[in-house]
Structure 1
Amino acid sequence: MAGVDPGTIAAIAAGGTAAAGSVVAALAYRGARRNDSAAMRYLAVGIACIAVLPFGFLYGLMPLLALSDAQSLLAVSLANVAGLLAILYSLDGT
């Protein structure tokens, strides 16, 4: 019996994370529009940066631009930092 490629499992898991993150970010953005809340808007941006952007970088930009692993890791890390800062601002700064 042939095993499943770990890269395939990682891609499926990353896609699921991006899909769930998109739903949560969309709900937060919808709440921001409904309540005219800047904090919810920043929360939506933060969630999108943490859950959706890394998938786009790893499975979209990396193959398209032939980025190295180090460049891809840098892009994902910067997206995570931007997302965490947006969430921090949504909770504390507004």
Structure 2
Amino acid sequence: MTAVDAGTLLFLTAAATALAGTAVAVTAYRGYRRHDSAMMRYLAVGIALVAVAPFPITYGVAPLVGLDDATTLLAVLCANVAGLLALIYSLDGT
């Protein structure tokens, strides 16, 4: 049996999360377009920021720009906070 490198496993898990998040965000966006509901738009944005944005930040932007680990983590956490705020707004509606 061959052991899988931890970095490879992390990449594959992050990619799977981003793909699943994209599917859910697209579904929410279609709901927004179909029903013209601003809350569905915020739901789609929130899901995209929480589930999809960390992947391109970590594996695209960070290596391209040369960000260190702390700055990359800060960028991912900022995306998560913004996504959670959008999700709260979509559920609360105030």
Instruction: Give the TM-score of the pair, scaled to structure 1.
Output: 0.97
Deviation by residue 1:41-94 (Cα, 9 ceiling, x = unmatched): 000000000011000100000110110000000000000000000000001125
What SS does the aligned partner of 1:4 have? coil
C-alpha distance in 1 between matches for 2:93 and 2:77? 22
**Structure 2 residue 33 is the aligned partner of structure 1 residue 33:** yes
| Structure 2 residue identity aligned to 1:45 | V
Residue equivalent to 1:71: 71
Structure 2 unaligned regions, length at least 5: none
Q: How many residues align?
A: 94
Structure 1 unaligned regions, length at least 5: none
CA RMSD of aligned residues (A): 0.9
Instruction: Give the TM-score of the pair, scaled to structure 2.
Output: 0.97
Q: Which runs of 4+ in 1 moved over 3 A?
A: none
Residue equivalent to 1:80: 80
